[in-house]
A and B are shown apart, each in its own frame.
Chain A
Amino acid sequence: MSYFDEDAREMLEVYLLETRQLTEQLNNCLMEAEKNNRFAEEDIHGIFRVMHTIKSSSAMMGLTQLSALAHKLEDIFAYYREEIGTIENPEQEIFDLMFLVSDHITAEMERMEAEEYVPSDIKRIEKQAEEYWEQFCCDEQKKEQIVEPQQEDPQKCDYFDGKSGTIVNVIFEQGCRLENVRAFMLIRQIRGLCSDLETYPPDLEHSSESSAFIGEEGLYICFTSDQKTEVLELMEKGLFVNRVILIADEEEPEESTEELIPQESQTKKQQETRETEFLDVKAEKLDKMQNLSCEMVIQMLVLEEALRKNGLEDIREGTARQINLLISEMERTVMEMRMRPVNRIVPKLRRILRDICRDEGKEAELVINCGDIEADKSIVECCSEALMHLIRNAVDHGIESGQVRQDLGKEKKGKIVFQVESTVGELLLTLSDDGCGLDEEKILNKARERELLVKPEAEYTSQEIYELILKPGFTTNETVNAYSGRGVGLDVVNNIMEEIGGHLYIESQAGVGSKFTMVAPLTLSTIESACFRVGAYHFSVPARYVFNFMEYEEKQKQIRQIDGHSYVLYDGKMVPLINLRKVCGLEEEVPEHSIVIYVRGTRREGCLVADAMQEQKRIVVRPLPTLLGSSFRKATGISGCSIMGDGNICAALDLETVIGNFEKEGAHEF
């Protein structure tokens, strides 16, 4: 049975959205105050308002413990607001307490949507808040003074067209937000006691425009009831209700010389315009839209193929082409809707850095360089998770303690730089630190211990040694702490990158620092791809990586074997030549009119030998079936699959892996 009753459950989504925004606001405020070692007046006001709102909305949801906790913190900041104004050199305890509360609220919100949700025990936090209050705040409990807005003269109400009944104007507390929702809840409470009830604005539940009106003018209610006193009392006691102004009472005919519906004021128009510019949309609806647009792209491919096969070129070039253009436009729009700025993950990174530095007694600053770059919502979320692990590693394994750094002639405070760039279709996120760098010898020793080495140690390149730390469970830490040491973090990062079709690169210099670069696609929907055939198999490669097509016959004389690998001359240099027939296990001669495709990825370049080019199209690349396992991609270089217009299934090649495997194993040779 759900913790929330039916009414509260309907409000849960809105409550979670609002509370998430508030806790984000709270975190940002605390981080800034801690950095400045000062709570400015606006910080105190801001935190007070956040706690006040969380108190009220949690009470409305039946979350009494959370509401009581927020109330306690509201009292603390009400005291600061009334008595002190600004706080210079605040005690560390207040930050610890507030971050603890913020984390608790965040954790609770993550659990709230589950059917079996039960609020967790907060006695420890309550005790801490109480102790803080006793120790640092005035003994005498201060009640919060809500500044009453100026009393307005009750206005004649023209909204109900001369209707008889009792007319009231309900004014809600300033800044209570979601005024239309508060009004809706109030009406639900009193409706049962009224034989007739009308409101202005009329649409409270679905119209967000009502919110602005109610915030400015209040909610007008015209009702008829045998229990008028009880109705008025309920209104007075309503959540967030500041006051109730009685405008007209029973059977008073309205003088109707004036306009019955008020003209829209300039302010109201502006507010309406502003509110129509933005809309809250559930993320899963965007996901659904993306899936539908991908399905439409696939079906369009099938339709085009069918039209071509049946010789219906007129329709294919005419109507079908128009539909294709519209679908492309729609797909682009859906993609844009899902784009989010990468810098949204920065507050979380700052917070993690703050916590881990504090716990490990180290100092480090986070330098951000990400501009306004945007990527698909899923990509940003995945990269956010990966970056959290990387930043933990950077502090735990990389950044030395202050004393050690000074002894080494470095700045006492470590530096971690987070940089974001984007190229055509790709996102590059780099996290670098000026710590101690990776110890290659230590890594090799550990790898030897765990029997992970597959060739003589002397043959390992630096990059190959660094890649050993990505193995599950690999760690050079002797002890485990709260942040690392289990060998899980980098394995998680690597898996995330594989899941989204990205790559992780590591650079390091002992004593100087390390740099982790994640390369991820900007979007997971459709990819403009070059499709080609090898025997009965179909392959695709992102078109942005394809630079040239050549006849195999022309290049035959430019192929050389070097150290057991095949290379071909291209643009004045020898590049890897990969025979895809061998990759597929087709032990056949290269057909006469085969083609050579020059490709260049993020870090590697090479030439692929294929039977024939098919087409360049925007296709939907889907993940590989889970049954093939997580290692299939790394072993084969095939990262996904697509449905083509002719019904065939095409294997999406991951160039970095294909060329990387070639360089490692030299398996693909003539």
Chain B
Amino acid sequence: MNSKSSRELLCITGSEKNYALDLKWIAEIYADVHISPFPCLPPHYIGMYNYKGQIIPVISLEEADARILIIIRCNDCLFAMAVSKEPFIIDQKDVEEIDSLHPDTMSGLWAEQALYQMEGTLVSLLDIQSSVEKMQSMNEKEF
């Protein structure tokens, strides 16, 4: 079904598929930053970042060299998503939602909220709230 909403999304080009984030979760975007190594982090966490005096974990979207950080704030959680390519803004009006019966959980860390089609490619809208809950649950089990 085509969504007629004029909501803007941040689109991220991945190595095999594309992703999108609702702008309401995004605090800032940084490029070429120093990610500090930190011991004993769970899988997919690539280090820590000093964001305006707050130390936040950096989680990779895909397992690739990533130097662009998208700072995400969800409830009381603040973290950075590391991506390799520069993201861009798309309008939700310009994409077509595809009915997806089985949301893709992508390596078990990121939850999917919806699936769109854009210029012949698939764009997975990430469910940040569910992803954060999932990460917290996984970390409780891990440790």
Contacts and interface: CB of A to CB of B under 8 A. Distances in A.
Contacts of A625: 48, 55-57, 77-79
Interface stretch (A27-35, A150-158, A490-498, A646-654): A646-654
Contacts of A632: 40, 139, 143
Interface in B65-83: 76-79
Contacts of B140: 629-631
Contacts of B132: 627
Interface of B: 34, 36-42, 47-50, 53-57, 76-79, 132, 135-136, 139-140, 142-143
Given A627-B135, A631-B143, A632-B143, A537 B53 contact: no
Given A625-B57, A625-B78, A627-B79, A583 B39 contact: yes
Nearest to A637: B40
Contact of B39 (A298, A627, A638, A647): A638
A635 B141 CA distance: 11
Contacts of B54: 622
Contact of A622 (B36, B42, B55, B77): B55
A229 interface: no
B48 A634 contact: no
From B36, B42, B78, name the one whose CB has the most chain A CB atoms within 10 angstroms.
Answer: B36
A295 B53 CA distance: 8
Given A537-B37, A537-B38, A636-B39, A627 B53 contact: no
Interface residues of A, number: 29
Given A631-B139, A641-B48, A648-B36, 11 more contacts: A537-B38, A539-B39, A584-B40, A625-B57, A626-B77, A627-B139, A628-B41, A629-B140, A629-B143, A631-B140, A632-B143
A178 B62 CA distance: 64
A638 B38 CA distance: 10
A518 to B, nearest CB: 23
Nearest to A635: B143
B79 A651 contact: no
Interface string A532-565: 0010111100000000000000000000000000
B38 A651 contact: yes
Nearest to A291: B53
Contacts of B77: 625-627
15 contacts: A295-B53, A584-B40, A625-B48, A625-B55, A627-B79, A627-B135, A627-B139, A632-B139, A638-B40, A643-B50, A643-B53, A647-B36, A648-B36, A649-B48, A649-B49
Contacts of B55: 622, 625, 641, 643, 649
A647 B53 contact: no
A393 B78 CA distance: 37
A649 B38 CA distance: 7
B40 A636 contact: yes
A585 interface: yes
B60 to A, nearest CB: 14
Interface in A640-670: 641, 643, 647-649, 651
B108 to A, nearest CB: 16
A649 B46 CA distance: 13
Contacts of A536: 37
B58 to A, nearest CB: 10
Nearest to A625: B57
A538 B47 CA distance: 12
B109 to A, nearest CB: 12
A632 B41 CA distance: 9
Contacts of A651: 38-40
B127 to A, nearest CB: 16
A627 B38 contact: no
A597 B26 CA distance: 43
A643 B48 CA distance: 10
B136 A647 contact: no
A643 B56 CA distance: 11
Contact of A585 (B40, B57, B76, B79): B40
Interface string A560-586: 000000000000000000000001110
Contacts of B48: 625, 641, 649
A534 B41 CA distance: 15
Interface string A584-601: 110000000000000000
Contacts of A631: 139-140, 143
Nearest to B76: A626
Which 4 pairs of residues, A with B, have the shortest CB-CB distance? A635-B143, A629-B139, A649-B36, A631-B143
A649 B50 contact: yes
Contacts of B53: 295, 298, 643
Given A641-B55, A647-B50, A649-B50, A629 B37 contact: no
